[in-house]
Structure 1
Amino acid sequence: MQGERRKVKDSSLYEDFCGSIFKQLDLGGERQRFYIAYSGGVDSHVLLHCCASITHLKDKLTAVYVHHGLQAEAESWAKHCEKTAKDVGVEFLTLRVNANAAPGESPEEAARNARYAALKSLIKADDALLLAQHREDQLETVLLQLFRGSGLRGLSGMSERMAFGAGVMLRPLLNTPKQAISDYAHAHQLSWVEDPSNQSNDYDRNFLRNAVVPLLKQRWSAIDKTVARSAKHCADAQVLVDEVADELFGAVFNPVDKTLSISRLSEHHSHPQQLIVRHWFRHRGLKMPAQAKVERILNEVVAAAGHRDPVLSGQGYSIRRYRDKLYCLTNLSGTEPQDRVWPVGQASIKITDDRTLSCVPSSKGISRERWQDATVEVRFRRGGEKIRLPGREGHHSLKNLFQEAGIPPWERDAMPFIYLNDTLAAVGDLWISAAFYSEKTQDCISLSLQS
């Protein structure tokens, strides 16, 4: 009897399937465009079919197939998706991406990163990307995060709504059981593609889906629902943690140079320190560090004696300290800066792959006439350079000026020195030599160094 009641309940789910999920997320507002990530599989096909059945939504829809080029069937899948979108009267777009894995990147991660990067480029303000992930996908995600030793944020699983590109990403099926999606697909006699790689247990998610979850469901039949509830509890707790982290982080963070104050950080005990460091990484848009890496940052860099210069590197960044500041250095150029002549009439010059020096109109600075009449060269530190500054007596060594200004040692060798006719005229955008300094209104230039 209980089995019959459950069957009736499941079969009724698809009858008001579309109305309930879209009412829940209020998708009928003022959004300009809805892009559906459409792979051709049953889940995204159901989402597409459901969206296309909503009159006020249909004209705003575009189905998007991301062509990874990793399987021979990908081209035929793209054609299937295009035909399906046409059949339901929805616009269609194919995005081709390079999903080859970089060193240290798994094939799954490479494909996901390439897919999201391509989709993100589509989403403008007031646009939404719709994904067809459902409650069993949430179960798999939480289990994977659990097995990887994730904290609250990881155990929160996927969110129904999050910022994406200039718009938002929505998962309207996230609280929907897989069975309801299958029921809907069969009831509407939908035709979808099956990815053969989904049967390979070489991938962690497939192994969970094919081997582990079915076994768990034999014992706990409602595990997708209960784990989703636990994920929601974790997400709610994470909101509170974030509020605390925001307050702690704000008192330690220096927004000008994106550093942390070591003295203020050291006022806290271990747990708040770890929370602040993780919040820092998140603020910088970096991959969340493992617990061991956070502990090394605190023990080897933050706790180091002030005269030491420890460096902790990994995953495209380096953690260093200078005086009272903790630095996270990212995207550093791999090439040494080279001396070069500044081309005549050119407003800017590349110092390295990721740094540009520009001259801009100013009411004070270097006389425009002297700049235009001189041979301008950009050189780099050799040691022993001196400069006389406006309003100060005598010549000053650059070494002392760098120390006085608190310029970290690693930035000094990369600081461009600007010479006019073989005479030092300026140091980056920090100082201009008194011999070249002028305050002729609207007849000067200043220098701007940008990364």
Structure 2
Amino acid sequence: MKGERQKAKISPLFEGIISRLDLGDQRQKVYVAYSGGVDSHVLLHLCASTPQLKDKLSAVYVDHGLQAEAGYWAKHCEQTANDLGVEFLTLRVNAQALPGESPEEAARNARYAALKSLMKVDDALLLAQHREDQLETVLLQLFRGSGLPGLSGMPETMVFGAGVMLRPLLNTPKQAISDYAQAYQLSWVEDPSNQRNDYDRNFLRNTVLPLLKQRWLAIDKTVSRSAKHCADAQVLVDDVAEELFVEVFNPADTTLCISRLTAHHLHQQQLIIRRWFRSIGLKMPAQAVVGRILSQVVAAAAQRDPVLSGQGYSIRRYRDKLYCLTNLSGTDLHLPEGRQAGKPDVTNLSGAGLPQDAFWPVGQASIKTAYNQVLSCVPSSKGMLCERWAGAKVEIRFRRGGEKVCLPERQGHHSLKNLFQEAGIPPWERDRIPLIYLDDRLAAVADKWISAEFYHEETNGCVSLLLQS
């Protein structure tokens, strides 16, 4: 009888949670991330007890391969799913940390990547994070010096892969989840690593929060409310940042116009830089990094060529444009603290000496260059004669210095350096542009120029070049 009375008190709260979810008829599949712990078990049990979800529901267990108990947990989760009449999936991932990653971050990234692979349009992934998880997240972000995005905590709803991620229990107190589990006599597993205080979140949960709760009983509720205020403020900040960003951004080459950027005051410039990073899929830069971008690169004299690098990107300027070069041939370029912005520390960006010349195989329509670009030969009414192309020894080379070419309808020979300057091609891109030689004579500079010696106009009788990154 006692259990029945508990259920009667608990059910309205959790029924309200499900009714608020965006899980209508348009959802094709509903996945519950199920670890076997009490929180995800309650969420799975709740969903399995909801008639409109039952036929589209799957429980997903992610095996990180980090603990010996994982095999037992997977079997427990599978048995529980079977008892509930729910489809069960196991995903195995490699959660070994990469350089610069914490173990928690590595596990989360591997887990999310695996879960995203399941998602199709109109699918939903449900996570069982609750109000105390939100409290921990916000406090950890606070201790790390995060701004509004971090202090906003975890969103209740967000785009995830091709579908959507939902956290239906995010505003639910932990005690309510425990009461539900006891009332329905659920069985769950306990991860022993949760007791290890060498992880920041565990230390906070096991040592710090019990003390805080003695003084502030409703701390999870009040901090969650603060996170919501921060999230609302961030929406307004994002709107302002977007308006500023579109005025400065060059979509054709994903650069920023420096003169337009510097026309704004400092705080607006910082917003634009962060919005720029987000637009090209990079991790948000720290405040110090944004400061160095503005002071050492943006503020550098126009004739200087400073290089500022982080993990996986390099920031450079050329003329009135600010460039963010990602994964540039695997080379990590650095501008040391205190160094005057000027000549770059590294001038050979290939990281492996000069690139090798290559012969273009006869009859082959395209060739991969030393910089993983693809150079293709395509039919054209303007370009090099088909017969001359087919009968020549075609070789791909790269700049060595001093190359000159005579162009159609222009007098004299022009150095490639001057042509690149006229075309506004940044210095770091010039050595990566393939030069095409026919029988040891410079015939074309990628798909930009063709030598007057080889240039013809003849309907369906020529070939031109196309360079693709």
TM range (shorter): over 0.9
Could you tell me how far 1:201 is from its partner in structure 2? 0.6
2:433 counterpart residue number:
415
2:51 matches 1:55: yes
Name the count of aligned residue pairs.
444
Equivalent position SS for 2:369 = strand
- AA aligned to 1:372 is A
> Which residue of the partner structure matches residue 76 of structure 1?
72
CA distance in 2, matches of 1:129, 1:225: 25
Corresponding residue for 2:347? none
Compared CA separation, residues 154 and 360, structure 1 to 2 (3 A): farther
CA 1:339–1:230 in structure 2 vs 1: closer, same or farther (change >3 Å)?
A: same
User: Which range moves more in the overlay, 54-63 or 352-361?
Assistant: 352-361
Q: Which residue of 2 aligns with 1:386?
A: 404
Shift of 1:368: 4.0
CA 1:228/1:439 → structure 2, altered by over 3 Å: closer, same or farther?
farther
Q: 1:61 to 1:450 in 2, by over 3 A?
A: farther
| Matched position secondary structure for 2:447 | coil
Cα deviations across residues 133-191 of structure 1 (Å, max 9, x unaligned)? 11111111100110111111111011011111122111111111111111111111111
CA distance in 1, matches of 2:379, 2:220: 62
1:375 aligns with 2:393: yes
Residue deviations 1:206-256 (CA, integer Å, cap 9, x gap): 111111111111111111111111111111100100110001011111111
> 2:6 touches 2:183 (CA, 8 Å); kept in 1?
no
Answering whether residue 110 of structure 2 is matched by residue 92 of structure 1, we say no
Deviation of 1:309 after TM superposition, in Å, equals: 0.8
Which of residues 142, 166, 171 in structure 2 aligns to 1:170?
A: 166
User: Contact 1:97 / 1:115 at 8 angstroms: preserved in 2?
Assistant: yes
Deviations 1:304-332 (CA, angstroms, capped at 9, x unpaired):
11111111111111111111111111111
Whether the 8 Å CA contact 1:361–1:442 is kept in 2: the answer is yes
Q: CA deviation at 1:44?
A: 1.2
Aligned pair partner of 2:122 in 103, 123, 126: 126
Matches within 5 A, 1:422-441: 422-441=440-459
Match of 1:286 in 2: 282
For 2:291, the equivalent position in structure 1 comes to 295
Please report the RMSD computed on the Cα atoms of aligned residues, expressed in angstroms: 2.0
2:236 paired residue number: 240
State TM-score, norm by structure 1.
0.93
**1: CA distance, partners of 2:120 / 2:69:** 31
Change over 3 Å in CA distance of 1:362–1:228 after alignment to 2:
farther
Matches within 5 A, 1:34-45: 34-45=30-41
Among candidates 139, 144, 148, match of residue 148 of structure 1: 144
Paired residue for 1:197, among 185, 193, 197?
Answer: 193
SS in 1 for 2:429: helix
Q: CA deviation at 1:346?
A: 3.5
The answer to whether the Cα contact below 8 Å between 1:200 and 1:206 also exists between their aligned partners in 2 is yes
> Normalising by structure 2, what TM-score?
0.90
Quote the residue 2:417 is aligned against.
399
Residue in 2 aligned with 1:349? 367
Deviation at 1:14, TM superposition (A): 3.0
Q: Taking structure 1 as reference, are residues 362 and 90 closer, same or farther at Cα in structure 2, changes over 3 Å only?
A: farther
Mapped to 1, the partners of 2:6 and 2:452 lie a distance apart of: 82
Structure 1 range deviating more: 413-422 or 351-360:
351-360
Report Cα offsets for 1:362-394 as digits up to 9, x if no partner. Answer: 454344444333332211111111222233333
Higher mean displacement: 192-201 or 82-91: 82-91
- Cα 1:383/1:243, change in 2 over 3 Å: same
Counterpart of 1:225 in structure 2: which amino acid? Answer: K
Q: Cα distance 1:15–1:409, how it changes in 2: closer, same or farther (>3 A)?
A: same
| Secondary structure at the counterpart of residue 309 of structure 2 | strand
- Give the 3 Å change call, closer, same or farther, for CA 438–27 of structure 1 in structure 2: farther
Identity of aligned residues (%): 77
Structure 2: state its 5+ residue gaps. 331-349
